[in-house]
Structure 1
Amino acid sequence: MEASIQTNEPGIKQVKATPILISLLLGASIGMFSETALNIALPELMKQLQVGPTTAQWLTTGYMLVLGILGPVSGLLLQWFTTRQLFIVSLTFSIIGSLIAGLAPNFEVLLAARFFQAAGLALLLPLMMNAILILFPAEKRGAAMGSLGLVLMLAPASGPTIAGIIIENLSWHWIFWISSTVLLIALIIGIIFLKNISVITRPKIDILSLLLSTIGFGSLLFGFSKAGEIGWTDPLVISCLTIGVLALILFTWRQFSIASPLMNLRAFRYPMFSLSVVLFAVMMMMLLSSMLLLPILLQNGLGKSVLQVGLLLLPGTIISGIAGPYMGKLFDKYGPRKLIIPGLVLMGTTMFLFSTITVNTSTAFIIVLDCVFLLALSMVMMPAQTNGMNQLPAEFYPHGTAIMSTLQQVAGAIGSALAVTILATGQSSYLSDKGFDMSNGINYANVDPAMLEHLPPSVVFGVKGAFIFAGLMSIIALIISFFIKRAKSSEQKIGQTRTFDRGH
């Protein structure tokens, strides 16, 4: 990676790409880490803060809601404020949130701190992706986007592992103390080295689009989050999903009918971008649902402790971190198909093998499958995303990054809700076959002693069903992948045209 390069934006001088990328990666990795780190700490938080599981879950649900609501707005902000301004504001939000969370005396303060953290990440993720698109030419973006893969895969995957080690040796407060320290380092690096690398256009702000976006994505994310908790037939879930879908239909119509859309959905007219969006959504659903299912399988199905689960999931986390940049370089050299198609075949095979597990399956077998799954995911996610973004003209970069950032949260919420639903349905079906009345679900606060010996195999049975569904999704993704071809960006086409003209 060059120390100093010319950006793709007119009027922007040469900048040092490496320190800019380091500061962005540091900040975003802590944000993505924070999204999943608290999952493993929820039991301890419920005891100390004296709240129930439904209330405690808002620490994760609220975080995702803020990310989903601010995602569509990020494209507009990228066109209104400089790279430096957005970076400083996003890191400041994240640092304030982490400090407040570390000092939080009660649940309400901790929840407010999570909103600050999420706001910072919601600004930083699209800013980082947009910076990569501007800093690196299309033929070198694969390696740079591979670094982005470190954030999208390694950071959230490492959340349970690192948090488990911290909680075992210190307390949950240290999750936020450590986070705020790293964020402060990233902010200092950014203040010293980060220059503006984008052109400010300040398009007209459409208030109606903002309102429809907030209602649509907010209701949809809340509905999916609650569906995994209280069921899909609950009136609250049905109402939220209905309102969300209707608002997003109106939002879509509005974006095509105004001159300066909040989120320019005309990006979907580029076929490789559209295919990459579908693949990216499926991969995020599989990634976040597996991150939810595997700890449950290892803890409730195989009887492992929190610390053991964190350490057992560490090998896969390391492999995904190493593979991301390497897959990016392979993408630059060979294009998307030679990575995506084998990756999806490998992923489907892994899901099939996951569906064969029993309570007697060795832990080593599960960890090997996890490592192979995350390796296969790295072969698909970043190449697909990079190929799709490469086809977009430069004026679509802010909108493309906003679409991807928003989709990440929506797909994650859908994947998690479906995983929980399939797990709960399978578990209830298993226990019903054993003669237990499951009309009111499982009351973990007062479990029937006769049911105790059947709980681990019921968890395994439910998890197997979720992996079968994931396998079907990977088959659908494989079919889509056959339509992918290497995309050429507008700048590549211009370069080829100039070469042709010089030759004639």
Structure 2
Amino acid sequence: MSTDTIDTSDHLSEPPTTPVRGTSDLPAEQPVDEPRQDRLAPGAFRAIALLLASGFTVILNETTMSVALPPIMDELGITATTGQWLTTAFLLTMAVVIPATGFLINRLGTRGAYLTAMSLFTLGTALAMIAPGFGLLVTGRVVQATGTAIMMPLLMTTIMTIVPPHMRGRVMGNVGLVIAAAPALGPTLSGAILEPLGWRGVFGVVLPIAVLALVAGVLWIRDVSDKDAHHLDPLSLLLAVVAFGGLVWGLSGLGEGAHAGAGAINPLIPLITGLAFLGLFIWRQIVRQRTDSALLDLRTFRESNFRVAIGIMAVSMLAMLGTLIVLPLVLQQAMGLTPLQSGLVVLPGGLAMGLLGPVVGRWYDRVGPRPLLVPGAVLVTLGIGMLAFLHPGISVFYVLGAHITFSLGLAAVFTPLFSAALGVLKPHQYSHGSATINTVQQVAGAAGTALFIAIMTLRSDALTATGTSAADALTKGAGLAFGIGAGVMAVTIALATLIRRPESDGEVHGGH
């Protein structure tokens, strides 16, 4: 077997005339579309399990720096403003690279895209671990982020390509584990590693895992669809860099607002520039779509399910990232918890979110999206609303309960959204749909961080000026941010009723 094609015994999307091979619990003459197997073929299972584990590893690194920043500042002699670039540069790179991943996956194939992603992530992790100074450390984070940006669209595209429609919900449920639980667990794991191993240990622990995943990819990952011979459009790439880079940079800068130094760039400049270039980027893609050569195919938005799901996802990511950024600040600066203690408070919610992902996926396969999305959106709104009543003396168990409520809601939201959004697309649009979803997540996450931090800062500064204690001012500022976040999230409850189950659970469209 060629290393560039997948064995038909492992490819579960073969035409229904081919008997299932290598499956001992089905009669040899039974076609694929008869009452079907409830498990993936071994090769497909290994490939998806590896993609999930790799995706979890790379996404985990998005949030590890929040806890590791203080010791990095001490050792390298940098300020907090400079140190924030370890996170900002990561997010900027993700925002810039993700729009191109649809093209990259189609051009390189599943195997080429995976090996490229994990090679870049491994190299970036090694550079960050040995970095003697801040410059090389930031470079390592940028290289890490480039690999991370490719991984999640690749994971979603592969699942949609090789998993039978009746099993997609349960398999896609594991993507919820990666998207939701990995960022939530990042600060906790980072805090646990920092004390015995220092900040370099955060990268050192990940490096052998990345190397192992890369070697496993060489052995297990095969292409699951035909490669695309289209060439990269340099103008589209340039417009994407300025558009999405500007949006994330501007939104991230808005969150720093009052604390920016005198020489800092006004965040409105990159934000407005990003919006202007976003318009040009959309125009360019519409033009290129006429010859099927767009960097990011926007015809996915013709599907109502996809449009509504993207809207709900944007608001949910805004709420999740805003909460994950602001809540630890309140726990540490107003309630006196250590970084490790604050990480432990959000750990049960993160674990619940991850563990429920596959369960929610099975429910989705049985009942469809609406019975999960509507109560999920209600729980997210309720959880954020509960956090609006924080004060310095409040019980940590109240915070724990609110965060678990919030996390359970997110677990019920993400999997149905991924499955319902991608399930209505044609197979050749999967990679572009996945890239769009991940791009929206990055921009919405930056917007959530900016919105929550800006509201909290403005309110707490105003209260401090009137003589309110720092702890009270901070919790009231955060409370206002959480209250507004709950109000925004409440809109998704109505939107969730508009999501329908994809026809035949996303069966391949005729003629494509």
1:396 aligned to 2:429? yes
Determine the C-alpha separation between the residues in 1 that align with 2:131 and 2:9: 43
- Superimposed CA distance per residue, residues 428-464 of structure 1 (whole angstroms, 9 cap, x where no aligned partner): 12212327xxxxxxxxxxxxxxxxxx11111111110
Which aligned pairs between 1:298-447 and structure 2 lie closer than 5 A? Answer: 298-434=331-467
**In structure 2, what is the equivalent of residue 136 of structure 1?**
163
**In structure 2, what is the equivalent of residue 32 of structure 1?**
59
Among 443, 446, 464, the residue aligned to 2:479: 464
- Superimposed CA distance per residue, residues 22-68 of structure 1 (whole angstroms, 9 cap, x where no aligned partner): 21122211111111001111111111111111110000000001100
Contact 1:357-1:460 at 8 Å conserved across structures: yes
1:159 aligned to 2:186? yes
1:254 aligned to 2:258? no
**In structure 2, what is the equivalent of residue 294 of structure 1?**
327
**In structure 1, what is the equivalent of residue 38 of structure 2?**
none
Q: Which amino acid is the alignment partner of residue 266 of structure 2?
A: L
Q: 1:103 to 1:325 in 2, by over 3 A?
A: same
**In structure 1, what is the equivalent of residue 11 of structure 2?**
6
Determine the C-alpha separation between the residues in 2 that align with 1:460 and 1:257: 49
Determine the C-alpha separation between the residues in 1 that align with 2:254 and 2:78: 20
Q: Which amino acid is the alignment partner of residue 64 of structure 1?
A: L
Q: CA deviation at 1:9?
A: 6.5
Q: CA deviation at 1:316?
A: 1.1
**In structure 2, what is the equivalent of residue 478 of structure 1?**
493
Determine the C-alpha separation between the residues in 2 that align with 1:80 and 1:493: 22
Gaps in structure 2 of 5+ consecutive residues: 1-7, 22-40
- Superimposed CA distance per residue, residues 341-381 of structure 1 (whole angstroms, 9 cap, x where no aligned partner): 01111222222221122212100110111111111101011
Q: 1:335 to 1:20 in 2, by over 3 A?
A: same
Determine the C-alpha separation between the residues in 2 that align with 1:325 and 1:224: 33
Q: Which amino acid is the alignment partner of residue 202 of structure 1?
A: A
Determine the C-alpha separation between the residues in 2 that align with 1:116 and 1:323: 32
Q: CA deviation at 1:6?
A: 3.0
Secondary structure of residue in 1 paired with 2:64: helix
Secondary structure of residue in 2 paired with 1:293: helix
Deviation beyond 4 Å, 4+ runs, structure 1 = 9-15, 231-235
What's the TM-score, normalizing by structure 1? 0.91
Determine the C-alpha separation between the residues in 1 that align with 2:419 and 2:427: 14
**In structure 1, what is the equivalent of residue 98 of structure 2?**
71
Q: CA deviation at 1:232?
A: 11
Q: 1:490 to 1:320 in 2, by over 3 A?
A: closer
Contact 1:343-1:379 at 8 Å conserved across structures: yes
1:45 aligned to 2:65? no
Q: Which amino acid is the alignment partner of residue 417 of structure 2?
A: A
Q: Which amino acid is the alignment partner of residue 308 of structure 2?
A: L
Among 189, 200, 204, the residue aligned to 1:177: 204
Q: CA deviation at 1:491?
A: 5.9
1:95 aligned to 2:112? no
Gaps in structure 1 of 5+ consecutive residues: 436-453, 498-504
Among 129, 133, 137, the residue aligned to 1:110: 137
1:276 aligned to 2:276? no
Aligned length: 476
Bigger drift between 199-208 and 69-78 goes to 199-208
Secondary structure of residue in 2 paired with 1:236: coil
Secondary structure of residue in 2 paired with 1:338: helix
Among 93, 106, 111, the residue aligned to 1:84: 111
Q: CA deviation at 1:489?
A: 6.0
Determine the C-alpha separation between the residues in 2 that align with 1:494 and 1:92: 35
**In structure 2, what is the equivalent of residue 447 of structure 1?**
none
Contact 1:28-1:125 at 8 Å conserved across structures: yes
Contact 1:426-1:458 at 8 Å conserved across structures: yes
Q: 1:121 to 1:318 in 2, by over 3 A?
A: same
- Superimposed CA distance per residue, residues 44-94 of structure 1 (whole angstroms, 9 cap, x where no aligned partner): 111111111111000000000110000111011111112111111111111
Contact 1:147-1:324 at 8 Å conserved across structures: yes
Q: 1:23 to 1:427 in 2, by over 3 A?
A: same
**In structure 1, what is the equivalent of residue 172 of structure 2?**
145
Determine the C-alpha separation between the residues in 1 that align with 2:470 and 2:140: 36
Determine the C-alpha separation between the residues in 2 that align with 1:127 and 1:86: 7
Determine the C-alpha separation between the residues in 2 that align with 1:15 and 1:407: 33
Cα RMSD (Å): 2.2
% same residue: 32
Bigger drift between 260-269 and 195-204 goes to 195-204
Contact 1:19-1:190 at 8 Å conserved across structures: no
- Superimposed CA distance per residue, residues 169-211 of structure 1 (whole angstroms, 9 cap, x where no aligned partner): 2211111011111111212222211111121122232221111
Determine the C-alpha separation between the residues in 2 that align with 1:380 and 1:16: 29
Q: 1:102 to 1:129 in 2, by over 3 A?
A: same
Determine the C-alpha separation between the residues in 2 that align with 1:141 and 1:232: 46
Determine the C-alpha separation between the residues in 1 that align with 2:117 and 2:382: 40
Contact 1:347-1:373 at 8 Å conserved across structures: yes
Secondary structure of residue in 1 paired with 2:267: helix
Contact 1:143-1:332 at 8 Å conserved across structures: yes
Bigger drift between 247-256 and 424-433 goes to 424-433
- Superimposed CA distance per residue, residues 292-313 of structure 1 (whole angstroms, 9 cap, x where no aligned partner): 0111111011000112112222
**In structure 2, what is the equivalent of residue 445 of structure 1?**
none
Higher helix residue share: 1
Q: 1:431 to 1:43 in 2, by over 3 A?
A: same
Q: CA deviation at 1:133?
A: 0.6
Q: CA deviation at 1:332?
A: 0.7
What's the TM-score, normalizing by structure 2? 0.89
**In structure 2, what is the equivalent of residue 488 of structure 1?**
503
